Amino acid sequence: MNYEFLILSFILFCLSMIIFFSSKNLIIVLISIELMLNSLNIAIANLSFFKYSAIPYVWIILIFGITAAEAAIGLSIIILMAKKMKTIDTDFFSYIRERYK
Amino acid sequence: MIEKLIFYFVSLIAVSSTVYVIFSKDMFKSFIAVFLVFLSTAVIYFLMGFAFLGVFQLIIYAGAIMVLFITAMNSIPETKKSYKTKHISILFSLFISVLFVFLSWKAFKKTIYSLNFSYPQSVSFMEVSKKLFNDYPIQIEVVSLILFVAAVIVYSFLKGEENEL
């Protein structure tokens, strides 16, 4: 079962990377980062198979905390941008960047 | 045997839900799919024997973070809720993913073969707590500080926005 967990986490990470690059919606981009961290957690939990220890648990709990903070800050920034610019389209923000270069 | 079947079933759900998010145009349906991914990850933790990680996953990811996202989506009424995907970017990210898998497999290969696999015994919560607060006090402090700062930042952002309006 060891390799299967690792392979699953690889597949999930790659799929979330595809979401990250292909989505135009900022909230979905943020969700894809959450999915990446989620798959990373599976890979870290899989490390427990190597040696019996509580260290992977500790790191996963720390990652949970950081993920929650990141989601809160990211969402508040997105809400602000959406209220000011009336859109959460990534193309629009790329256009602004190009225009004010 | 049953464990393997459950694992394959759950991982199929996780992968297909993630694929659904790529092609979905409706944000709310994507959230439901992501919720399914988080649920299946919790089941995977239970299968691994990490019961309280599964519980944490259910509480934090499937509970708190998904509710946060759905609330945020509802607080943006002006924007359209559906977006198309960029198909050229899918090809680009597929290429990056394949590259990533290749490089990480190369990196993992040495580590994996040098270690002996063993199925984990269940680690007790007391043991994890001891480890957390005895060996990693600085990390705990840093994470709690990050959470506190996040709360303050979110409050100041949204309060500032309210005052401006």
Selecting from A14, A52, A86 the residue whose C-beta is nearest the C-beta of B78 gives A86
Selecting from A21, A22, A28 the residue whose C-beta is nearest the C-beta of B30 gives A28
Q: Can you give the pLDDT at residue B26?
A: 83
Domain of residue B156: give its range. 124-165
Q: Can you give the pLDDT at residue B162?
A: 63
Q: Can you give the pLDDT at residue A32?
A: 92
Domain of residue A91: give its range. 2-99
Are B106 and B152 members of one domain?
no
Are B92 and B129 members of one domain?
no
- The per-residue pLDDT for range B5-35, each reduced to its tens digit, is 888 888 899 999 999 988 888 888 888 999 9
How many Å lie between the alpha carbon of A90 and the closest alpha carbon of chain B?
Answer: 10
Are B129 and B118 members of one domain?
no
Query: What is the number of structural domains in chain B?
Result: 2
Q: Can you give the pLDDT at residue A55?
A: 76
The CATH number assigned to the domain holding B86 equals 1.20.120.1200
Among B15, B37, B135, most A C-beta atoms within 10 A, so best to mutate, is B37
Are B135 and B112 members of one domain?
no
Are B64 and B104 members of one domain?
yes
Q: Can you give the pLDDT at residue B37?
A: 92
Are B46 and B91 members of one domain?
yes
Q: Can you give the pLDDT at residue B98?
A: 78
**What HEC string does chain B produce?**
CHHHHHHHHHHHHHHHHHHHHHHCCEHHHHHHHHHHHHHHHHHHHHHHCCHHHHHHHHHHHHHHHHHHHHHHHHCCCCCCCECCCCHHHHHHHHHHHHHHHHHHHHHHHHHHHHCCCCCCCCCCHHHHHHHHHHHCHHHHHHHHHHHHHHHHHHHHHHHHHHHHC
Instruction: Output phi, psi for B24, to 5 deg.
Output: -75, 145
Are B101 and B134 members of one domain?
no
Are B7 and B63 members of one domain?
yes
User: By mean pLDDT, which of A84-98, B80-94, B147-161 is the weakest?
Assistant: B80-94
Are B96 and B44 members of one domain?
yes
* ipTM of the predicted assembly exceeds 0.90: no
Does the structure show a pLDDT above 70 at B120? no
User: By mean pLDDT, which of A74-88, B56-70, B74-88, B129-143 is the weakest?
Assistant: B74-88
User: What value does the mean pLDDT of chain A take?
Assistant: 83
- The per-residue pLDDT for range A25-68, each reduced to its tens digit, is 888 899 999 999 999 888 888 876 655 667 778 888 888 889 98
Are B58 and B90 members of one domain?
yes
Give the pLDDT mean for A5-32: 88
The CATH number assigned to the domain holding A69 equals 1.10.287.3510
Chain B residue numbers with beta carbons less than 8 Å from the beta carbon of A87 are: 79
Query: What is the number of structural domains in chain A?
Result: 1
Are B34 and B104 members of one domain?
yes
Are B66 and B97 members of one domain?
yes
Does the structure show a pLDDT above 70 at B78? no
